[in-house]
């Protein structure tokens, strides 16, 4: 199981998420603890890269960008965006 480590900015971004996005965000966190590599690579030219993103929420209006530190079994949450 991977340990989730939010960046300080992520905590502020999380506070700005609308209520409709919170349940979907929580589901993504559960998935990231188990299978973070299932997210999409941040750059298509680097499909094995450790920086990845995952859409969430209604109509995938949100996305989370994160960095996987495999050796430490950590997922660093870098950015949450809500475009809805």
The predicted model gives 7-36 an average pLDDT of 94
- What would the pLDDT profile of 31-81 be if each residue is shown by its tens digit? 999 999 999 999 999 999 999 999 999 999 999 999 999 999 999 999 999
For residue 52, give the H/E element and its range: strand 51-56
Domains (ranges, CATH) in the chain?
Answer: 3-82 (3.30.2310.20)
> Could you tell me which of 25, 27, 29 has the C-alpha nearest to residue 14?
25
How many whole angstroms separate alpha carbon 36 and alpha carbon 30? 10
């Amino acid at each position: 199981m991977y340990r989730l480590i939010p960046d300080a900015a992520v905590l502020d971004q999380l506070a700005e998420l609308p209520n409709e996005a919170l349940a979907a965000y929580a589901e993504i966190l559960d998935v990231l603890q188990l299978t973070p590599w299932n997210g999409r690579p941040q750059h298509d030219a680097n499909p094995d890269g450790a920086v990845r993103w995952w859409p969430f929420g209604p109509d995938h209006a949100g996305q989370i960008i994160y960095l996987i530190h495999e050796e430490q079994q950590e997922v660093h949450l870098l950015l949450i965006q809500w475009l809805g």
